[in-house]
Structure 1
């Protein structure tokens, strides 16, 4: 009787389905001779549906949680292991019914040895379902996609990938792999060429590859030489909505020699910064007049670099050149001075949603200072902003996260209060609708923020958080 009165039994099936779906991002099949206690944990769909009859019923009704499959070879020539996994994989394929499949195949450490189906039984099983693939991630230094489909297939008889929308490929043998999908992926929309591009400076996307149909592109390119090669293809011959890329290294390049390319369709840009001893910037290549969302991230190896962001000048040239109607800006752990951040915000008056997170960076290189907070005040000038017109007047959502141990909390409260005008009485600024601030180095919420309780009751969403949230 205990199980029937357990709180989890009161959770509606719809909520349980959402939880299952969130837990089952992928189901991993590992071909290895080493026995692991993670066998079931690697396959959450199987684990969740084995808990009780109700969970089994819910799990079996969700074809989506069985359709996300990852296959990784740690060893080869293990027929008994493959046979055992093949039985389970058959169950997954059956329970996924006609749901489009998300397939990840990792063969990083293996050379292509045989085209016999019995040698790579699991690969053969997944490849036979290729017309159901909606997402495909492939990692290998020596195999090509051609090798995969040489296992039990005649390439001449291979039909198109009817449902393939998302394609993620490694840098090695990229031209060959992309060529394989030319004219075989009529619905392809997202392409991810993801890894370290060192050594691939002659990379070219095949001219016949359907770049024009892509809407989302992720490129991890650290070489300006490669970027110049791809610049026209990527920006001029596509109708991209989003571009996700690393910053690039100049390695002796002259900034003035770079010519920007305009792409009027891109609305979202994510740039990841992985600084090394040579500074570089992707921004001189870009002119994005329709950009609405911009995300600037700092890579893990750059978080503790004790110097300011070196690309601010080319970045600002990009901002001014593009003159975009930006509405959302997210900056994480970028070593930006408070004066430079204010200068940037002055040039994007259309901004409605601002997030800045400095918690993993060097503390004294954070722009979240008292002077910056004062610059956001709707009616006052500050030492960083002498103009009487408010900074980012359309701001409605503000999120700050800081690692500071001390802060001018009264200045924060004063700034938030100045932007609360729900009745439209302040024609100079939009009403701030949401404010979140997180103090990662504090253990208690300061009493000063109690002043905001009345504003929260009146309708603003306010969250003041402490600790590692």
Structure 2
């Protein structure tokens, strides 16, 4: 039996074996050591990951496996390394040797580069940086999350011809002359930057490029918010996403501080607006910032709104109801907004019903109950009345008539059978289109969807190809 199995594996085509190796290695390779991880892996684990140890183990099985593992350049083209890996010269030499071998085995394949430091205020070791820079003409995606102070970044000038996705997260005190290569990226499609780069003279030229599809940045202080909002009209009409990370760390901003941003009124052509909080914040600071951002914008081509909270469910965003209604009115969002993703936002049922009654074009909706402990008299968002309002009945209008994707995170305190009625009515109304339903209970919650209802939904998905139940 073992002999037959071995012969069968050996006889597999090289392409099939390569795919098996790719999935196998992805399943056992340790996660990259990033500064945000609470507990970083051991130094030995990091060195093994840089060496792609699981793949090296497979390469020792037989000559065919060695040939497949070592000579497929795409296996070696994802380069993730901490720039100060190794606290001693000996360990550093080993890390550089492993990195050199990996780059050599990647041959001419486009590279995906992640260069970070456990302390992002420190620069990477110069030999690691310059070794990666020698291959910058092959960088296709790159994430640099560390200081570049003291490094000659001019070695990258004119040497980023393939770069499409670029994340450049630099410390707040970065001097702009250290990133003089910033604008020389002719194929750039997706750009993510930290606050210091908002002052870069080359940024304006990048934002006007027709191929740019997304622009992401971080803002903390008033001038940064003002600069970001002022930049939006510069984005080309082809740009699809504007992603703003709002960093109002409560360790920096005192509770009693007011937070007026004094943002300019701005009209922009973006189709996706994504706002995300980071770190822990004082709720009234973040609410003020969200209110002012929405109040400043007119977005006549907006198709998606996403509000995210990085510390959810410990904290949630407060729904800026008045400002969103005004944004809908002046931008005509009822005719163009197709996706509303606000599962990490605290919103009342009445406010949600009012919004949905305006958004005739909406197709994708993500909402959720409040994750906090509900006291007596407090209301849930997902209720029987809400599900009935979303259920289509002949000769009666329903909310969000074009809905094709509905996701909710819930305490499941509603009549569970109403979900089946809701799904069946949607499938009946849209006879030719798919309908997705995604149900999550809160983490560590004892609540579960009724087993009979769950079985009905599974059976419905099994017998109706237009229904996807997650």
Task: Name the structure 2 match of 1:352.
Answer: 363
Q: Distance in 2 between matches of 1:453 and 1:110?
A: 50
When residues 252 and 367 of structure 1 are mapped into structure 2, their CA distance, relative to the original with a 3 A threshold, is: same
Matched, 1:375 2:377: no
1:100-149 CA distances to partner (integer Å, 9 max, x unpaired)?
22222234466679xxxxx73222211211222222322335x33xx333
Matches within 5 A, 1:51-450: 51=58, 52-53=61-62, 56-60=66-70, 62-74=72-84, 78-107=88-117, 108=119, 120-141=126-147, 143-144=148-149, 147-149=150-152, 155=154, 158-169=157-168, 170-173=170-173, 176=176, 180-194=180-194, 204-206=199-201, 209-213=205-209, 214-239=212-237, 240-247=239-246, 252=258, 258-264=263-269, 266-273=270-277, 275-276=281-282, 277-278=284-285, 279=287, 280-281=289-290, 282-300=293-311, 303-305=313-315, 309-324=318-333, 325-358=336-369, 366-379=380-393, 388-404=396-412, 406-421=413-428, 424=431, 433-440=435-442, 441-443=446-448, 445-450=450-455
Q: CA deviation at 1:157?
A: 9.5
Q: Distance in 2 between matches of 1:157 and 1:247?
A: 30
Bigger drift between 242-251 and 332-341 goes to 242-251
* 1:106–1:139 contact (8 Å) kept in structure 2: yes
* 2:136–2:160 contact (8 Å) kept in structure 1: yes
Q: Distance in 2 between matches of 1:62 and 1:28?
A: 25
When residues 378 and 120 of structure 1 are mapped into structure 2, their CA distance, relative to the original with a 3 A threshold, is: same
Q: CA deviation at 1:443?
A: 5.0
1:144-181 CA distances to partner (integer Å, 9 max, x unpaired)?
3xx3336xxxx489534212222222242456168512
Q: CA deviation at 1:37?
A: 3.7
Q: Distance in 2 between matches of 1:435 and 1:110?
A: 44
Matched, 1:43 2:46: no
TM-score (norm 1): 0.76
Q: Distance in 2 between matches of 1:423 and 1:229?
A: 44
**Which sections of structure 1, spanning at least 5 residues, go unmatched?**
114-118, 382-387, 425-429, 465-469
* 2:83–2:129 contact (8 Å) kept in structure 1: no
Q: CA deviation at 1:218?
A: 1.1
Between Structure 1 and Structure 2, the one with more helix by share is 2
Q: CA deviation at 1:219?
A: 1.4
Q: Distance in 2 between matches of 1:235 and 1:4?
A: 65
Task: Name the structure 2 match of 1:427.
Answer: none
Q: What SS does the aligned partner of 2:49 have?
A: coil
Q: Distance in 2 between matches of 1:157 and 1:35?
A: 32
Q: Distance in 1 between matches of 2:459 and 2:265?
A: 50
Q: CA deviation at 1:413?
A: 1.9
Q: CA deviation at 1:346?
A: 1.6
* 2:25–2:54 contact (8 Å) kept in structure 1: no
Q: Distance in 1 between matches of 2:218 and 2:144?
A: 15
Q: CA deviation at 1:203?
A: 5.3
TM-score (norm 2): 0.76
When residues 423 and 137 of structure 1 are mapped into structure 2, their CA distance, relative to the original with a 3 A threshold, is: closer
Q: Distance in 1 between matches of 2:87 and 2:455?
A: 66
When residues 173 and 67 of structure 1 are mapped into structure 2, their CA distance, relative to the original with a 3 A threshold, is: farther
Q: Distance in 1 between matches of 2:226 and 2:397?
A: 41
Q: Distance in 1 between matches of 2:162 and 2:468?
A: 43
Q: Distance in 1 between matches of 2:433 and 2:331?
A: 27
